[in-house]
């Protein structure tokens, strides 16, 4: 868990991934044949092989709040970076890249909470004036949620498990993998939360034969939530479709066959809204057969995202089994 703790503690809002990229590079360098950063800021780790070219993608960015204006009393107005929910953001601690800590508040003139909107909220960094605030934060700086990783039984709770848990999975696969029949590219993508941007550029450059995205997915196992056949503790979630992609039948079938053959628990994922890097990869050049494996996660895009350790291990085992035998 120490690697995951470091990954989640490190900030990296979309477009501001330099710190998390540096940390990941340090973790993967001993196991890679080549490590480089592309023009959009994605970190690409090449594990050379003689077979078909496979791109595995896990986005390293997280949602955040971008400073847009500072008033005369030092309060900072902000714009969302990615899918930020007003109610999940209210009264949370946030941290800018330089370490400045703030608290999110709201205009007290509101008479009902249904009026709560991000445009009526602000970040309080404790500055007594605009001049003091400007010394700590600049317009365009991005803050991310604070939320230390905690373990509750077999469950892990933290901010940024979307998608540092996917990053953790790929790092662990890279550490363990040995004989491989493929030419592998592990891509830690930038700017996924604002439109799958990093994956699009990386996939165009790599031009893979197949693609697999590793991300989180929602669950249908909390009280009175929307119905969805995914639950914590149910195993790896093999994607059927989401709002950005219908998974390649070839890749999906190969992943399911791998899971059954190796006794790895899995569940079928249909996410009605949202998407992953698979949505960008599969549309690259003339098209790339692409699938995805997800870690079930509760409370996505909050400072208290939750995953099950057994599900994480199932995703790792599935990818290791899949990549070390020629299923495609």
Residue 191 and residue 12 in contact, taking contact as beta carbons nearer than 8 Å:
no
- Residue 76 forms beta bridges with which residues? 70, 123
CA–CA dist 145, 164 (Å, integer): 14
The sheet with strand 210-217 has its strands ordered as: 34-37, 43-47, 183-189, 53-59, 210-217, 290-296, 236-241, 266-270
Catalytic, 108? Answer no
* Planar angle of CA 293, 297, 298, nearest 5 degrees: 155
Whether omega for the bond prior to residue 242 falls within 30 degrees of 0, making it cis, is no
CA–CA dist 81, 64 (Å, integer): 5
Of the candidates 192, 193, 269, 305, the residue annotated as catalytic is 192
Query: 150: helix, coil or strand?
Result: strand
Q: Helix count (H) and strand count (E) of the chain?
A: 9, 17
Query: 113: helix, coil or strand?
Result: helix
Q: Residues 301-311, buried b or exposed e (16+ Cβ, 10 A)?
A: bbbebbbbeeb
Q: Residue 241, exposed/middle/buried by CB under 10 A (0-12, 13-18, 19+)? A: middle
- Give catalytic residues, as residue numbers: 192
């Amino acid at each position: 868990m120490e690697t995951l703790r470091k990954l989640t503690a490190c900030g990296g809002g979309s477009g501001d991934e330099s710190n998390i990229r540096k940390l990941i590079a340090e973790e993967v360098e001993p196991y890679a044949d080549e490590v480089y950063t592309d023009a959009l800021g994605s970190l690409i780790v090449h594990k050379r092989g003689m077979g078909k070219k496979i791109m595995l993608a896990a986005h390293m960015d997280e949602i955040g709040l971008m400073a847009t204006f500072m008033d005369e009393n030092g309060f900072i107005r902000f714009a969302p970076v990615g899918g930020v929910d007003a109610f999940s953001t209210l009264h949370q601690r946030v941290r800018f890249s330089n370490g400045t800590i703030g608290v999110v508040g709201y205009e007290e003139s509101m008479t009902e909470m249904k009026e709560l909107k991000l445009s009526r909220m602000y970040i309080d960094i404790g500055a007594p004036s605009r001049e003091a605030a400007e010394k700590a934060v600049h317009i365009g700086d991005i803050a991310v949620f604070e939320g230390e990783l905690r373990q509750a039984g077999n469950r892990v709770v933290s901010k940024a498990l979307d998608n540092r848990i996917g990053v953790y999975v790929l790092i662990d696969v890279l550490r363990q993998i040995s004989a491989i029949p493929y030419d592998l590219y592990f891509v830690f993508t930038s700017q996924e939360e604002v439109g799958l941007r990093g994956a699009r550029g990386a996939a165009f450059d790599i031009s893979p034969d197949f693609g697999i995205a590793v991300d989180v997915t929602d669950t249908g196992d909390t009280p009175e939530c929307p119905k969805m056949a995914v639950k914590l503790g149910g195993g790896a979630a093999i994607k059927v479709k989401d709002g950005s992609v219908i998974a390649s039948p070839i890749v999906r079938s190969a992943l399911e066959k791998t899971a059954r053959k190796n006794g790895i628990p899995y569940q079928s994922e249909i996410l009605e809204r949202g998407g992953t890097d698979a949505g960008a990869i599969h549309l690259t050049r003339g098209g790339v057969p692409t699938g995805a494996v997800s870690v079930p996660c509760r409370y996505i895009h909050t400072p208290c995202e939750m995953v099950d350790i057994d599900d994480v291990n199932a995703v790792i085992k599935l990818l290791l089994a899949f990549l070390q035998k020629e299923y495609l």
